[in-house]
Structure 1
Amino acid sequence: MPQQLDYHTIYEIFRRFREHEAEPKGELDHVNAYTLVVAVALSAQATDVGVNKATKELFKIADTPEKMIALGLDGLTEHIKTIGLFRQKAKNVMKLSQILVDDYQSIVPSSRAALESLPGVGRKTANVVLNMWFHQPTQAVDTHILRFGNRTGVAKGKDVVAVERAIEDHIPAEFQHHAHHWMILHGRYTCKARKPVCANCIIEDLCQYEEKTNV
């Protein structure tokens, strides 16, 4: 099993990521903080591509909590029925929209605790919103980051919370803001689960993964 990498190696990994793509972006389409919350909540156990396809027309007519409530549960369900677990997600979106109207003057809160209190919003969703919209150096750990962190030795941990803490502890502060985007994109397109594309990896020489392919 790979060991936790040292500071200098991790610094070089993220220096290369930054050199390759200085401003990485999340791949969920949104037009404001509210639609970002909705998109991330819908993305659980679904692909970003699938969510973007479903929300393309939805966000044209329902880009605020009030408009989503006006659209109604049936209207929302019709838009997102191609997404996994769409019925429960639709109920959560309607509930969180009502809470935002009633308790937050329709403004998405900027605290993790407040975000996590919304139906369908967990720690990962909250961290994505805090990072992408409020520019906080939060780490939204998904399966890609969990795999990347352990496989490379960048951030080791048995679960998402442990990996999140390892990222905060071991990745230099100057890279914290974009760290989770770099890792997600690398895990999604290069450090894939079944067959990583090691021959195209810009950090292959620094990675401790023992079962490298095409190198």
Structure 2
Amino acid sequence: MKKSVVEQFYQRLRENNPAPTTELDYASPFQLLIAVILSAQATDVGVNKATARLFPVAPTAETMLALGEATLTDYIKTIGLYRTKARNVIATCRILVEQYGGEVPADRTALEALPGVGRKTANVVLNTAFGQPTIAVDTHIFRLGNRTGLAPGKTVLDVENKLLRVTPREFMKDAHHWLILHGRYVCKARKPECSRCCVVDLCEFRGKTV
């Protein structure tokens, strides 16, 4: 995709959604971190239902650590892989309390050292909580990057690196949210809704449904 086309691509996404953000509910960087950890192989809706009960009683690393793994498990048992996630969350809270005063570090290396936190989770937290120009490539963004021709790549890291190279600086902060929301609700896996796509004429997908 040519540079001028990429700029139009993002301009239209911005016009369509001027203030994009995550669909996870949170009130602090810590709560965002926990919500993203819980969201692996789970829906944002399902995570929000669980955290709506969890965060009022354990809004900080200290209070969540005090809950303990067994109690935390009860709060999140409606989410897939809840036992592993409960173990990781408690371990992460312990590290945050002991090493960072209960605060979430705005550093990739430190974040990725936390149990249950990989590159994608770190990217979400760095971008959404701290405004850093990162792009977390999930299944939606991986599909969109390849399907549209915006950032084709064989691996998640390939697509991420290409997006970081081709995305103009002015769009970098919100690119992650524009792309994931577009992939989630318009450029769907099985039946992309090309008829209501704001970038349909810029997209290089040969199987358009219009």
TM-score, length basis structure 2: 0.99
Query: Which consecutive unaligned segments of at least 5 residues does structure 1 have?
Result: none
Match of residue 182, structure 1, among 178, 182, 186: 178
Match of residue 32, structure 2, among 36, 41, 57: 36
Whether 2:67 is the aligned partner of 1:71: answer yes
Map of 1:201-212 to 2, 5 A cutoff?
201-212=197-208
Q: CA deviation at 1:54?
A: 0.8
Residues in 2 aligned to 1:20 and 1:204: alpha-carbon distance in whole angstroms? 13
Map of 1:93-108 to 2, 5 A cutoff?
93-108=89-104
AA of the residue aligned to 1:40: V
AA of the residue aligned to 1:180: H
Match of residue 3, structure 2, among 4, 7, 15: 7
User: CA offsets per residue over residues 28-55 of structure 1, 9 Å max, x none?
Assistant: 1111011110000010111111111111
Whether 2:87 is the aligned partner of 1:91: answer yes
Q: CA deviation at 1:69?
A: 1.3
Match of residue 62, structure 1, among 41, 44, 58: 58
User: CA offsets per residue over residues 170-202 of structure 1, 9 Å max, x none?
Assistant: 111111111110000000000000000000100
2:163 alignment counterpart: 167
Q: CA deviation at 1:205?
A: 0.7
Q: CA deviation at 1:20?
A: 1.2
User: CA offsets per residue over residues 117-148 of structure 1, 9 Å max, x none?
Assistant: 00000001001000011100101110000000
Whether 2:42 is the aligned partner of 1:46: answer yes
Residues in 2 aligned to 1:103 and 1:127: alpha-carbon distance in whole angstroms? 21
Q: CA deviation at 1:212?
A: 1.1
SS in 1 for 2:201: coil
Q: Number of matched residues?
A: 210
Residues in 1 aligned to 2:185 and 2:16: alpha-carbon distance in whole angstroms? 14
TM-score, length basis structure 1: 0.96
RMSD of aligned Cα (Å)? 0.6
Query: Which range moves more in the overlay, 13-22 or 187-196?
Result: 13-22
Match of residue 195, structure 2, among 193, 199, 206: 199
Runs of 4+ in 1 over 4 A off after TM superposition: none
Kindly, what percent of the aligned residue pairs are identical? 57
User: CA offsets per residue over residues 56-87 of structure 1, 9 Å max, x none?
Assistant: 01000101111101111111101110111100
AA of the residue aligned to 2:150: V
AA of the residue aligned to 2:149: G
Query: Which consecutive unaligned segments of at least 5 residues does structure 2 have?
Result: none
